[in-house]
Amino acid sequence: MMTQDEYVKSLRDMKTVVYYRGKRIENFVDHPAIRPHINSAALTYSTGKDGEIDENRTTLSHLTGKRINRFTSIHMTPEDLVMKVKALRGIAQKSGSCFQRCVGWDALNALYGVTYEIDQAKGTKYHENLVKYLLYIQDTDRMADGAMTDPKGDRSLAPSKQADPDQFLHIVERREDGIVVRGAKQHQTGAVNSHEIICMPGGAMGPDDADYAVAFAIQMDAPGIICIFGRQTNDDRKLEESDVDKGNACFGAVGGEALVVFEDVFVPWERVFMAGEYEFCGLLVERFASYHRQNYGGCKTGLSDILIGACATMSDYQGTSKASHIKEKLTEMSHLGETMYCCSLACSHEGTTNASGQCFVDPLLANITKLNVTRNVFELGRLAQDIAGGVIATLPSAEDLNDPEIGKYVQKYFKGVEGIATEDRIRIGRLIENLSSGTALVESMHGAGSPQAMKVMIARQMKLDKKKRLATDLAGITESEETAAAKARTV
Ligand code: SF4
Ligand code: FE
């Protein structure tokens, strides 16, 4: 296993092509817009600078029995799934930001089960490829990104019907030694600072879309891969010298997303996990999305722990902590946070074994988890801004705070309780601003899929017929053939 320092060092050997704000970034490891995301991802590495091992972040490989980083493991029991959620909450409590590595972990787990099922049905060798790749990842502790979202062009059209065939990542050439792919993946969390990228198709597909039914893994610095790093709310502040206005100077906010372009990228056959088996695209999306939606009551609850702590601290600094409405709002925030956590634990506890022998979350409950996150995180943000007051939207800059002429006015008029430094009140306000607004909220809405995607899955799995029978049985109704025929006309 790599230490946190070794992870950062290993990125320096990568030749990943990165662009940000119109410029090629040669040294992305030390770039102020990217470094916080690297610091955050580094927290997923089990050993810190002083060499301590965090048990939550390691486990035993079901393949070799060796101790491995938990982020490279396959979930074999509901307990593994529960430990995943606990690890995510624990890391988020330290980072206050997305630590990115879960997407690749979920990609490995989704592909582990689905490649097994493709091989069973088709006599292919994808599972063998996946297991070999998994052993490599467990052995080297490399960070893999998981990439599912295509640009999608006209959303009303299938991949093969798009005016531009590259709107979905696809195979452009099949060679004896591998495939060549072209297209892009969007909103890719942690792509720039990952060693590898695991690509999967982003939706159900038909026979005409066979070239788009492609899953594979490749190193991020493979020829033809280009990362275009996205902008975030207040990203100019990352370039400032003072860390007062950054909110979370060390770890930033959200995941450091990028557009990843594949310009005729060669992938050897041993790294291919699906190439044309369009019938399995829907299953793969369902597995990946459910594993990833499971996470959100872990990481977002960890972030809500910090937000609640920041609001309580702000109340102490402003002299409002004894007010009953503040206590009530903090309690409500805890209720919202722990509700998300309950959901993640529930879908983990209800996990079941699939054909490959791995444990899969309860997909209905995993989708409920993420749908709650799209609401609760916004409500947490609303309450946080209510508690903090308008000050977080009107604070002058650190330059003003430290200005020899007018700094005294900022010091004087942004002070709260006597004895509390004005700068501390500003710092906690900036942290609340960072956690409760802008890109952080968008990530909670659309990360792991937009709310409508969850509703589609919930509608598919909510067993409405069974629920109708529960009601009619209890009401003493025995439906006649005439009733059944009449009902059939209404649905
Ligand atoms: Fe992991 Fe959460 Fe970031 Fe997704 S949003 S990669 S689950 S930390
Ligand atoms: Fe996310």
Residue 344 shares a structural domain with residue 444: yes
- Predicted structure pTM score: 0.96
The three-state secondary structure class of 258 is strand
Residues 56, 172 share a domain: yes
Residues 108 and 221 in one domain: yes
Same domain, 245 and 288: no
Q: Is the pLDDT of residue 54 over 80?
A: no
* 471 found inside a domain: no
The number of domains in the chain is 2
Is 189 in the active site? yes
Mean pLDDT, rounded, for 482-486: 91
Atom of ligand 1 nearest to the CA of 99: 8
Indicate if ligand 1 lies below 6 Å from the C-beta of 274.
Answer: no
Is residue 438 domain-resident? yes
Distance between Cα 18 and ligand 1 center (Å): 22
Say whether pLDDT at 51 is over 90.
Answer: no
Cα-to-centroid distance, 257 and ligand 2 (Å): 9
Output the pLDDT for position 369: 98
| Same domain assignment for residues 245 and 321 | no
User: How far apart are alpha carbons 489 and 491 in whole angstroms?
Assistant: 6
What is the overall mean pLDDT for the chain?
96
Exposure string for 41-69, b = 16+ CB within 10 A, e = fewer: bbbbbbbeeeeeebebbbbebbeeeeebb
Confidence of residue 491 (pLDDT cuts 50, 70, 90): confident
Measured between its terminal Cα atoms, the distance across the chain in Å is 56
Q: What is the pLDDT of residue 57?
A: 85
pLDDT-based confidence at 56, cuts 50/70/90?
confident
Reading the block at residue 165, the tokens are 């065939």
* Measured CA angle at 141 (ends 138, 142), to 5 deg: 115
201 in the same domain as 292:
no
- Please indicate whether residue 313, judged by its CB atom, sits closer than 6 Å to ligand 1: no
Give which of 204, 213, 255 is closest to 453, Cα–Cα: 204
Residue 423 pLDDT greater than 60, yes or no: yes
The CATH number covering residue 106 comes to: 2.40.110.10
- C-alpha span between 192 and 36 (Å, rounded): 12
Q: Is the pLDDT of residue 25 over 90?
A: yes
Atom 2 in ligand 1: residue holding the nearest Cα: 299
Convert the pLDDT of each residue in 351-405 to its tens digit.
999 999 999 999 999 999 999 999 999 999 999 999 999 999 999 999 999 999 9
Using the 3D structure, point to which of 255, 277, 299 is the last residue of a domain: 277
- Single out the residue in 277, 309, 343 at which a domain terminates: 277
Give the structural domain span for 445. 284-466
Residues 254 and 299 in one domain: no
The pLDDT confidence band at residue 53, using thresholds 50, 70 and 90, is: low
pLDDT the model gives residue 267: 98
In the prediction, which pLDDT does 47 show? 66
Q: Report yes or no on 474 lying in a domain.
A: no
Q: Exposed/middle/buried for 349, CB within 10 Å: 0-12, 13-18, 19+?
A: middle
226 and 370 in a single domain? The answer is no
Q: Are the C-beta atoms of 433 and 245 separated by less than 8 Å? A: no
The identity of residue 95, as a single letter, is: S
479: in domain: no
For residue range 472-481, list pLDDT tens digits in order.
999 999 989 9
The whole-number pLDDT of residue 490 equals 84
281 is catalytic: no
Q: What is the CATH number of the domain that holds 354?
A: 1.20.140.10
φ, ψ (nearest 5 deg) of residue 469: -65, -40
In a domain, 388, yes or no: yes
**Is residue 473 in some structural domain?**
no
- Same structural domain, 252 and 331: no
Same-domain pairing of 353 and 234: no
Residue 445 domain flag: yes
Query: Is-contact 312 427, C-beta < 8 A?
Result: no
CA 397/CA 415 separation, integer angstroms: 15
Reply yes or no on whether the pLDDT at 406 is more than 80. Answer: yes
Confidence of residue 49 (pLDDT cuts 50, 70, 90): low
Question: Do 300 and 223 have their domain in common?
Answer: no
Instruction: Yes or no: say if 178 and 266 are a contact pair by the CB < 8 Å rule.
Output: yes
Q: How confident is the model at residue 145 (pLDDT cuts 50, 70, 90)?
A: very high
The torsion angles phi and psi of 68, rounded to 5 degrees, stand at -135, 165
- Residues with Cβ within 5 Å of ion ligand 2? 447
Q: Per the residue annotation, which of 44, 47, 59, 102 is the catalytic one?
A: 102
- Domain shared by 345 and 299, yes or no: yes
Answer with the one of 243, 262, 277 that is the final residue of a domain: 277
Q: How far is the CA of 102 from the centre of ligand 1 (A)?
A: 6
Determine whether the shortest distance from the Cβ of 99 to ligand 1 is under 6 A. yes
Indicate if 299 belongs to the active site: yes
From CA 29, how far away is CA 300, in angstroms rounded? 26
124: tokens are 């292919």
pLDDT digits (tens, 9 = 90+) for 239-293: 999 999 999 999 998 889 999 999 999 999 999 999 999 999 999 999 999 999 9
Asked if 98 is an active-site residue, the reply is yes
Stretch 67-82: mean pLDDT, rounded?
97
pLDDT, tens digit, 9 for 90 and up, residues 85-141: 999 999 999 999 999 999 999 999 999 999 999 999 999 999 999 999 999 999 999
48 pLDDT more than 60 = no
Is the Cβ atom of 294 under 6 angstroms away from ligand 1?
Answer: no
**Residue 149: pLDDT band by 50, 70, 90 thresholds?**
very high
98 lines ligand 1 (CB under 6 A): yes
Is 425 a member of any domain? yes
Residue 189 beta carbon below 6 angstroms from any ligand 1 atom: yes
Question: How far, in Å, from the CA of 108 to the mean position of ligand 1?
Answer: 15
User: What CA–CA distance (Å, rounded) separates 104 from 179?
Assistant: 21
